[in-house]
Amino acid sequence: MTDGESQTFGKDVLFQLQFTPMFSGLKEADIRSLTEGARVVTFGHEHHLYGEGDAVIDVYVILDGHVELSTEADGRRSVIEVARKGTVIGDAALFGEGRFLMTARVLSQATLLAIPAASFRAKLEPRIDIITHMLSTMSFRLRMLVRQIAELKLKTTAQRLGSFLLSMVAADEGAATVRFPYDKKLVADELGMKPESLSRALSKLAKVGVNSKADNVVVIADIDRLREFCAEDDLG
Amino acid sequence: MTDGESQTFGKDVLFQLQFTPMFSGLKEADIRSLTEGARVVTFGHEHHLYGEGDAVIDVYVILDGHVELSTEADGRRSVIEVARKGTVIGDAALFGEGRFLMTARVLSQATLLAIPAASFRAKLEPRIDIITHMLSTMSFRLRMLVRQIAELKLKTTAQRLGSFLLSMVAADEGAATVRFPYDKKLVADELGMKPESLSRALSKLAKVGVNSKADNVVVIADIDRLREFCAEDDLG
């Protein structure tokens, strides 16, 4: 598909939606009804999806790729989250003022399901069970944001970087090799540190067996050891 | 009233609820119905209101005083917010797992309206308009948390402390005298910095005309000048 081209969605997308927090636990007919008119769209590197404060026309489910969510404060941009496959974005804008809370920009390439907001909202109206489900989902997102604030307040830069690396590891123990999924400048933004601090944090992690290689590859010698370091109280 | 003593509420509390985000815009009869069985309770210094993970029995509106909201991560406590008069706390726990997201502890003294969660939830069921209103409120809270994350990622300690001081100032310009509303250790926790960093941040603010006096009093010589400093891009 070329950039921005769209198509209606099939069984494979429906299957993926059933594993997305907002839709999981809902009946197939309900998911079909809520997503009526939805299109699968693919966008390339740095595509501006929507801006903070824009009126919501579609909400999106990330089917593949990464989308950067940022907000402006006093004219400077802060990356709040890099949303991954399986995340619904823009859902908080469905209610209240009906405007996006953050700016969304595609990294490298992303395939999204664009769900028309107006019909979604209209379908919700007579369905108390689905609305209660959405309130639960939103309370879950609140929980995630509270976690992120706690991390920012409690952890050193090295610990935050360590946790980020651990989030990409599939194994529970032993060694692992991971690659930064997008450029390091953006990882620094997402973790709330300057690029220089990220380099220093990476050097500090060498002491617990984490070693940088070429091509953004990082080798973790011992997952358990890194996990312990990230949970340590003694902030340096 | 002695500690924990309760009473039903009158017109004055109803008036205050009409200025609380969760209830503002709702009809008096709806507010009365949602808060059926609610009691006004007063608690003293360090009263443990509820713990993170506890099942929600009551949600609270702060009628007077301050309540500290904290969360635990890896055994360490992080203050997420010190909630003030007019804030509803525990509302995100009404849905989903029905458990509190944070631990709530009264600072000095607080008067609260305790609203039974079960009857609140039951009253919501047939009322789509009220539920949509609640979804809006929750999306507003998400917006506030996103702001806080952006501040933590973008601002220096001195700028965060400056913004905190400005939030206590009633005037728009000129000079102002404010007093720390609770002890400085807790202000440091809330702003995500160590007590030493708060002292250093306070010293830095002297350069923009902010001076510490005895008894936790702070004199701001020029509100505009402090506001400009807090919005500056050039992080030092």
Contact B145 A149 (CB under 8 A): yes
Q: Which architecture, in CATH terms, is A6-153?
A: Sandwich (2.60)
Q: Are the C-beta atoms of A27 and A84 separated by less than 8 Å?
A: no
At CA B170, angle to CA B82 and CA B160, rounded to 5? 45
Contact B128 A132 (CB under 8 A): no
pLDDT at A7: 66
Q: Which residue of B has its CA nearest to A153?
A: B192
The beta-carbon neighbor of A146 closest among B74, B145, B232 is: B145
Which chain B positions have a beta carbon within 8 Å of A79's beta carbon?
Answer: 153
Q: What are phi and psi of B154, to 5 degrees?
A: -100, -30
Q: What are phi and psi of A74, to 5 degrees?
A: 50, 40
Give the gap in angstroms from C-alpha B32 to the nearest C-alpha of chain A.
Answer: 22
pLDDT tens digits, chain A, 236 residues: what are they? 455 656 667 888 999 998 888 888 888 999 999 999 999 999 999 999 999 999 999 999 999 999 999 988 767 788 888 898 889 999 888 887 789 989 999 998 999 999 999 999 888 877 878 888 888 888 888 888 888 888 888 888 999 999 999 988 988 899 999 998 888 888 898 888 888 999 999 999 999 999 999 888 999 999 999 999 998 764 43
pLDDT tens digits, chain B, 236 residues: what are they? 455 656 667 888 999 998 888 888 888 999 999 999 999 999 999 999 999 999 999 999 999 999 999 988 767 788 888 898 889 999 888 887 889 989 999 998 999 999 999 999 888 877 878 888 888 888 888 888 888 888 888 888 999 999 999 988 988 899 999 998 888 888 898 888 888 999 999 999 999 999 999 888 999 999 999 999 998 764 43
Q: Which residue of B has its CA nearest to A70?
A: B150
Q: Are the C-beta atoms of A43 and A66 separated by less than 8 Å?
A: no
Name the strand (E) or helix (H) holding B106. strand B103-116
The beta-carbon neighbor of B152 closest among A134, A149, A231 is: A149
Q: Name the token pair of A214.
A: 């070429």
CATH of domain A155-231: 1.10.10.10
**What residue ranges do the domains of chain B occupy?**
6-150, 155-231
The beta-carbon neighbor of B96 closest among A74, A79, A136 is: A136
Question: Of the candidates B60, B49, B50, which has an alpha carbon nearest to the alpha carbon of residue B17?
Answer: B60
The beta-carbon neighbor of B95 closest among A79, A136, A147 is: A136
Question: Of the candidates B206, B144, B227, B167, which has an alpha carbon nearest to the alpha carbon of residue A74?
Answer: B227
Contact B135 A140 (CB under 8 A): no
Q: Which residue of A has its CA nearest to B188?
A: A153
Cβ density class B15-25: b for 16+ within 10 Å, e for less: ebbeebbbbee
Pick the CATH number of B6-150 from 1.10.3720.10, 3.20.20.70, 3.40.47.10, 2.60.120.10: 2.60.120.10
